Every structure is written in structure tokens, then in C-alpha cells.
């Protein structure tokens, strides 16, 4: 798209980091690759314990995220979640909550931003 040559080493770095759940950005200056920025969401220290607690309580754990499939699935595997929904817009998250409600489920929805506000408001517990 931008006609920037990405060296093989940079592509390999991106693939490896993405598989581990990171998001990778390439930075170009004057049509030349200048930097690679690797970002990842850090889990709160207690997150794995909370997921185990919820699952032991008989709850289904689901990740509903705007992240890419590769990033979300890496996180889901790390936490041992039951299901993952990816590349969701705020509207999609709210619709997922509504679908779960129609199926007779009660949703406890945890969100960290304004993009989760509608889904939080529609959940049984937000």
C-alpha cells in the first residue's frame, strides 16, 4: 500500500511478536523502514486467578475484543478462556450481550474504556 520494503528479519520479528499476543507497528521515514514498535497489553497480576475463580464457580469466560484474532487468541490461550470474539466494534459488543441475554444467559461484562460503555450498560452486571 505504501510501497515500503519490509526486510525479512522485520517480517519475522512481526510474526513472532504477533503470535505471542503483541501488536506490531512499522514506522517509515522517507519511504524507508525506520523503526518497529511492539506493544502488548499487560495483564493485571491477579487476572489469571480471577479467571480460575470464575470458571470454578461455573461461569463461562469469554473475551470480546476489538483486537485482531491472533492477538486475542494468544491472550485467550494464556488465560484458558472458554471463547473469544475478535475485531468487535462497540456496537458488536453490545449486540453480543443482547444475544447472550436472548439465549437466557446473564452477562457479567468487564470493560476498560468508553468503547465498552454500551455493552457494560446492557449486561446484567457491568
pLDDT in tens, 28-61: 998 889 999 998 878 889 999 999 999 999 999 9
Closest CA relative to residue 88, chosen from 108, 59, 118: 118
Choosing among 3.40.1160.10, 3.40.390.10, 3.40.50.1000, 3.40.50.150, the CATH entry for 47-122 is 3.40.50.1000
State how far the Cα of 98 lies from the Cα of 109, in Å rounded to an integer.
12
Grid coordinates of 75: 491472550
The answer to whether 85 touches 96, Cβ cutoff 8 Å, is yes
In angstroms, what CA-CA distances link 92 with 66, 97, 113?
A: 9, 9, 15
- Each residue of 87-117: pLDDT tens digit? 999 999 999 999 999 999 988 888 877 888 8
Residue 37 is predicted with a pLDDT of 94
Closest CA relative to residue 40, chosen from 26, 23, 25: 23
pTM: 0.74
What is the CB-side half-sphere exposure of residue 104 using CA atoms within 13 A? 0
In angstroms, what CA-CA distances link 5 with 18, 19, 33, 67?
A: 19, 22, 7, 25
Contacts of 85 (CB under 8 A, 6+ apart): 62, 63, 64, 65, 92, 96
State how far the Cα of 17 lies from the Cα of 68, in Å rounded to an integer.
13
The residue extents of the domains of the chain are: 8-39, 47-122
Confidence tier at 68 by pLDDT (50, 70, 90): confident
Amino acid at each position: 500500500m505504501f510501497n515500503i520494503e519490509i526486510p525479512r528479519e522485520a517480517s519475522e520479528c512481526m510474526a513472532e511478536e504477533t503470535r505471542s499476543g503483541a501488536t506490531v507497528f512499522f514506522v517509515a521515514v522517507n519511504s524507508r523502514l525506520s523503526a518497529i514498535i511492539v506493544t502488548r497489553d499487560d495483564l493485571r497480576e491477579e487476572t489469571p486467578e480471577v479467571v480460575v475463580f470464575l470458571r470454578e464457580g461455573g461461569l463461562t469466560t469469554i473475551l470480546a475484543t476489538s483486537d485482531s484474532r491472533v492477538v486475542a487468541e494468544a491472550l485467550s490461550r494464556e488465560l484458558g478462556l472458554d471463547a473469544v470474539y475478535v475485531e468487535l466494534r462497540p456496537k458488536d459488543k453490545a449486540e453480543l450481550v443482547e444475544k447472550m441475554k436472548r439465549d437466557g444467559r446473564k452477562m457479567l461484562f468487564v470493560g476498560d474504556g468508553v468503547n465498552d460503555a454500551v455493552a457494560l450498560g446492557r449486561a446484567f452486571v457491568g
